[in-house]
Structure formats: structure tokens, C-alpha cells
Amino acid sequence: MSDALNPFWDYYVCVLAIVSILACAIFLNAQSRGRKPPTTTETTGHTWDDDLTELNNPLPRWWMWLFYITIGFALVYLLLYPGTALYGGVLGWSSKGQLKEEVAAGDAKSAPLYAQFRQTDTKILAYDPAAHAMGERLFQNNCSQCHGSDARGSRGFPNLTDDDWLHGGDPAAIEETIMDGRHGLMPPMGAAIGGDEAVLDVANYVLSLSGSAHDAARAALGKEKFAVCAACHGADGKGNIAVGAPNLTDQIWLYGGDLKTIVATISRGREGVMPAHRETLGTDRVHVLAAYVWSLSHPAPAPVAQGGPPPR
């Protein structure tokens, strides 16, 4: 990746573009200079099907002038637009700038739609049909790539429908997560615990916390060594949302809950990043999106039936 950011490539593209255009002009001029219509039929010596012969005639003048026009157009284009990687062009246009303008225009048009929900409580907004539909579209465009279109996540990406949260699942915490992102880090603990055998003991103890199948003898050995892990996960293994440490007692696993995966997690650690969306979405959109995300684990209550049973 660092090679792609090397300024050498800017110069390479610039020189290649200009030299290629000029080389076309020089070659075209060389081919046309001093050429006169032949007095006799000149061939290249290539013949097909006995009588189909390739002639060696010069290009028509109108055709050559078309080539010169395209060369001139290319030079004017490089003068006006950023085609050489080093020069931005007289017009100052860029695809990034155009995208920014289009996004700004779209934001200005849609901003009032989101602003109308600015003061609405998230838990009320979650069940507003219009806001829910808008939040769903925001989710599909910005979140489904990692969490899935059904928001159930996948390996390394949290399930947003089960009300189990690493950093807290109240509306304020969800908004903070979307706005500023999260950086989850489980450091490698193999050496701190005491090596491969000790890691295997602790992994079995972790499995025992959630009632999963485990080796009871190893779990008993791992209980004391779990003290190293308790600094984040707590002595009872129920986690700590202040640092994003998961609950180890509920059988909900981000990377998998089998023995092999837990051993790998303890030994090598894990790292995950939830990107910040403050700049791309803004506060009003995040408010609507957070309400939708919260609703995924808090479905609308069923309507209460009014009156008695219908008459027979």
C-alpha cells in the first residue's frame, strides 16, 4: 500500500501520458512526411486466397488529420483536467470534488426529512413507521455490509438483534457507537497466562462459565489462572461494557465458542474496528439510524385487545 502512495507514481503517470501523446504525433508525422501517391501498385507481399492482396498505400489525408485532431484534443484535455496526476487542470475539476458537491446537494435536500425527528425520543422514534423505514434504508446503505442485511452479523461482526452489547445497548450508547466508532482489542494473553497448557486450562474454564461442554479437570486448573482475564471480563466473567469486554457466561460469541477458537482468541488476541460515521451521516441521520438499530432487539409490543371476545 505504501508503494501506491509513493510520489514516483505521480511522475510516472505524468511522463507516460505526455510522452505517449507526443510519440503518437511524431510517429504520425514521420509516416506522412515525403509520402507521395505511388505511380505503381505497391503491395506488402501478403496474399490470401490466391488473389486477395494487401496494398501498401499511404493513409488518406483526412484520416491523418483526424488523428492530429485527437492528439490536439488530448493535449487540451490535459490542460483543462487533472489527467497527469501532478497538474490539477485549469478548470480545477476533480471527481472527488464533484462527489462532494453532489453529496452536499443531496444532504441539503434530505436534511429536513431527518431534522423533523431531531427532538423525538429514540424509544418513541423506534416505532414511528416513517422513521423506521428511513432508518432501515440508512442501515442497508451503511451497516449491512458488516452486520448483514438482517442485522444478525457474522464471525467478527456483532449480531444487533439479540440485545447483547459490548459497549451498551441503550439508545445513547448506540448513537455514540455509530457516531464515533469503536476499537475492540483483546490482547494476546498466552504468555501472560503461562503457555499453551495454561491457555487450554483457561479455555476450558471459559467454556464452563456458559455451561458449554468442557474438561472439568482442566477447568478447575484454569479457574485460578483466569484472574489475569478478570481484569477486563470481571471475576464472574460477565464482562465490562466500559471497556467492551464481552460477557463469557451467555453463550453468545463474536468469533466462535468452540474450544479451538477460544484457545486461538486467548493465545493470539482479537482486534476489531467499528468505523465512525459522524462525518458521513451527521447527527440527525445517526439519531434515526440508532432508533432503528435499537428497535431490532426491542420489537414493538403486540397491540392489546380492546373489550371482550367477539360475539358468536
Q: Check if the beta carbon of residue 178 is closer than 8 Å to that of residue 281.
A: yes
97 and 245 together in one domain: no
Say how far apart CA 22 and CA 16 lie, in whole Å: 10
Same domain, 288 and 158: yes
Burial class of 234 by CB neighbour count within 10 A (0 to 12, 13 to 18, 19+): middle
Same domain, 125 and 157: yes
- Determine, yes or no, domain membership for 242: yes
Has residue 138 been placed in a domain?
A: yes
Q: How many CB atoms lie within 10 A of CB 157?
A: 17
Q: Using 50 as the pLDDT threshold, list the residues of the chain that sit under it.
A: 1
* 29 and 156 part of one domain: no
Q: Are 186 and 255 in contact (CB under 8 A)?
A: no
302 belongs to a structural domain: no
**What global pTM score does this model have?**
0.71
Whether 312 is in a domain gets the answer no
Answer yes or no: do 78 and 146 share one domain.
no
Whether 258 and 199 map to the same domain: the answer is yes
Question: Are 163 and 288 found together in one domain?
Answer: yes
For residues 84 and 8, membership in a common domain is answered with yes
Instruction: Look up residue 136 and give its three cell numbers.
Output: 432501515
The DSSP code sequence of the chain is -TTTT-THHHHHHHHHHHHHHHHHHHHHHHHHTT----SS--EEEEEETTTEEEE-PPPPHHHHHHHHHHHHHHHHHHHHS--SSS---TT---HHHHHHHHHHHHHHHHHHHHHTTTTS-HHHHTT-HHHHHHHHHHHHHHTHHHH-TTS--BTTB--SSSS--SS--SHHHHHHHHHH-EEEEE---HHHHTSHHHHHHHHHHHHHHTT----HHHHHHHHHHTHHHHHHH-TTS--BTTTTBPPSSSS--SS--SHHHHHHHHHH-EEEEE---HHHHHHHHHHHHHHHHHHHTSPPPPPPPPSSPPP-
Main-chain phi, psi angles of 62, to 5 degrees: -65, -35
Residues 192 and 174 in one domain: no
If one counts the domains in the chain, the total is 3
Are both 190 and 148 inside the same structural domain? Answer: no
Question: Cell for 92?
Answer: 480545477
- Asked if 17 and 1 sit in the same domain, the reply is yes
- 216 shares a domain with 150: no
From CA 166, how far away is CA 163, in angstroms rounded?
10
The total number of residues shown for the chain amounts to 312
Q: Do 187 and 239 touch, CB atoms closer than 8 A? A: no
Domain of residue 131 covers 110-181+275-296
- Residue 13 within a domain: yes
Q: Per-residue pLDDT tens for 120-156?
A: 999 999 999 999 999 999 999 999 999 999 999 999 9
Cβ atoms 140, 149 nearer than 8 A = yes
Answer with the one of 102, 126, 146 that is the final residue of a domain.
Answer: 102
Residue 273 phi, psi dihedral angles, 5° rounding = -130, 130
Of 210, 223, 290, 292, the closest CA to residue 253 belongs to 210
Query: Which pLDDT does position 136 carry in this prediction?
Result: 96
Domain at 201, CATH number: 1.10.760.10
